[in-house]
Amino acid sequence: MIAPADDAVRLDSVTEITWTQLVSASGLPEDELRELVRYGALVPRDPDAPAWTFESRWLVVARTASRLRHDFELDPHGLCVVLGFVERIERLEAEVRALRALLG
Amino acid sequence: MKYKDYYAVLGIARDASADEIKTSYRRLARKYHPDVSKEKDAEEKFKEMAEAYETLKDPEKRAAYDQLGSHTPGQDFRPPPDWGQHFAQGRGGFDDVDLADLFAGLSGQRGRAGGRRADHPLPGSDYEAVVRLTFDQAFHGTEVDLELSALEWDPDGGMRRVPHRVKTRIPRGVSDGEKLRVPGKGGKGVNGGPDGDLYLDIDVEAHPLYRMSGRDLYVDLPLAPWESVLGTNVNLPTPGGTVALKVPAGTRAGQHLRLSGRGIARGSGAAGNLYAIVRIEVQSVLDDRQRALYKELSEISNFNPRAQLEQEAAR
């Protein structure tokens, strides 16, 4: 019997994940993830809400954080600085791609 | 099993100190970490050095690795007969794993012996896979069949490689570099722990005509000089089918002609636009009649495309 195909889910600004899902999928301890929120490296939809929810794209950032944390043995503050650089690189790469698309 | 020289991978001597191991790893990680490096084969190189560092930074694993002896990298070898008794808690065969699996197995055994109850639920590992798609597959969505190789615990506490087949639907409109998640399709959880997830890195082949930017598409539209002046009708191919495009008279080079909703559609949101970018192409070879017509046009036309330049030059 052929197994049915599973849906691959987008990690974008439309779909939403809960704090518990983010913690469980990120690979980081909850207290470190909370520090990343405090330093602004991860942004809940409503920071004042009693239960945080996030755009699912933050899961990609959280997993990158987990990888960088492990591979470079970074503390949460250093991790935030590196994540800021990674985000900036990605934004610049997106601009380069957009310009290439425009210029041919 | 193929031998890997972890010392050579990190560029250090076999008697390197813990500090030397760490320094060398950090130096190389800075250069090759896939999140910060654009070096060619960075991901592959980083994987190798991370594997080497994970083993050599841990004195117990390093001792186990040293006991395997020194071989030529890539050479087939078997651990010495008593190696399993000392380091892998009596585990028997080593045929279905590689060196990294062997040492990952040692960590796992320690983790299990580290106070966790044998029936403690453990979540399955997350897997990652690169999915290469054609432009059309990315545009329209598709179904892919992935053949992965997964590491699993066997009942006697060792690890083994097992085939892991996943069929998944990729939604329409994915872009190059996007990451998707297939919940529950990673490694199996143990003792009732949840299964891991599968993460997909999308790699879209460049299309010979269309270029993607967000939800918009760009395509070059070559026009002859008289088409740009007089206007024309063009049958323009788009990913959704050929469209009749009216090029208005007086269209300039570089102008963007927008085809609304002919770009990329994602989820239930509106599709992006397709922009045809006008390029004016000029013949390099003319016959006598064509040359004469151009010459006549140049004589009767008072059009001066450099009027502004000339005004500036005259100041």
Percentage of chain B lying above the pLDDT 90 cut: 61
Whether A88 and chain B come into contact, CB under 8 Å, resolves to: no
Answer for the pair B64, B89: CB distance below 8 angstroms, yes or no: no
Chain B CB contacts of A12 below 8 Å = 266
As a whole number, mean pLDDT of residues B153-163 equals 71
Whether A74 and chain B come into contact, CB under 8 Å, resolves to: no
Percentage of chain A lying above the pLDDT 90 cut: 77
Terminal Cα-to-Cα distance of chain A (whole angstroms): 47
Any alpha helices (H) in A27-75, and if so which ranges?
A: 30-38, 58-72
For the stretch B135-152, pLDDT in tens is: 999 999 999 999 998 877
User: Of the ranges A68-82, B56-70, B97-111, B204-218, which one carries the lowest mean pLDDT score?
Assistant: B97-111
Q: How far apart are CA A20 and CA A64, in angstroms?
A: 18
Contacts A–B by Cβ distance under 8 A:
88
For the stretch B219-245, pLDDT in tens is: 999 999 999 999 999 999 999 999 999
Q: pLDDT band at residue B69, thresholds of 50, 70 and 90?
A: confident
* Mutation to test the B interface, candidates A24, A55, A60, A71, most B Cβ within 10 Å: A71
Q: Shortest CA distance to B94 belongs to which of B68, B71, B73?
A: B68
Alpha-carbon torsion, ordered B288, B290, B291, B297, to 10 deg: 140
Q: How far apart are CA B165 and CA B289, in angstroms?
A: 66
Answer for the pair B89, B157: CB distance below 8 angstroms, yes or no: yes
Residue A95 has pLDDT above 70, yes or no: yes
Q: Which residue has the tokens 């993607």?
A: B212
* CA closest to B179 among chain A residues: A11
**Mean of pLDDT over chain B:** 88
* Mutation to test the A interface, candidates B35, B36, B199, B255, most A Cβ within 10 Å: B35
- Predicted confidence at residue B156, as pLDDT, reads 64
User: Of the ranges A20-24, A53-57, B1-5, B284-288, which one carries the lowest mean pLDDT score?
Assistant: B1-5
Chain B CB contacts of A71 below 8 Å = 29, 33, 46, 50
Phi-psi region of B191 (alpha: psi -120 to 50; beta: other; left: phi over 0): left
A25 closest CB neighbour out of B36, B197, B200: B197
Q: How far apart are CA B211 and CA B206, in angstroms?
A: 7
Residue A2 has pLDDT above 70, yes or no: no
Two tokens at B184? Answer: 């529950």
As a whole number, mean pLDDT of residues A36-46 equals 94
- Predicted confidence at residue A83, as pLDDT, reads 93
Q: How far apart are CA B27 and CA B13, in angstroms?
A: 16
Looking at residue B200, what DSSP letter applies?
E
Residue B198 has pLDDT above 50, yes or no: yes
More confident residue, B110 or A30: A30
Residue B12 has pLDDT above 90, yes or no: yes
For the stretch B289-300, pLDDT in tens is: 999 999 999 999
B126 and A25 within 8 Å at the Cβ level: the answer is yes
Chain B CB contacts of A67 below 8 Å = 35
Strands B159-170 and B256-259, by their bridges, are: unpaired
Residue B130 has pLDDT above 90, yes or no: yes
For the stretch B23-68, pLDDT in tens is: 999 999 988 988 878 777 888 899 999 999 999 999 988 988 998 8
Q: Shortest CA distance to B247 belongs to which of B280, B292, B207?
A: B280
Answer for the pair B224, B213: CB distance below 8 angstroms, yes or no: no
Answer for the pair B231, B249: CB distance below 8 angstroms, yes or no: yes
Percentage of chain B lying above the pLDDT 70 cut: 88
- Predicted confidence at residue A33, as pLDDT, reads 95
Residue B125 has pLDDT above 90, yes or no: no
Q: Please give the ipTM for the structure prediction.
A: 0.90
Looking at residue B247, what DSSP letter applies?
E
Distance of CA B242 to the CA centre of its chain: 30
What is the reported pTM? 0.81
Q: pLDDT band at residue B115, thresholds of 50, 70 and 90?
A: very low
Residue A73: what residue type? E
Q: How far apart are CA B220 and CA B299, in angstroms?
A: 31
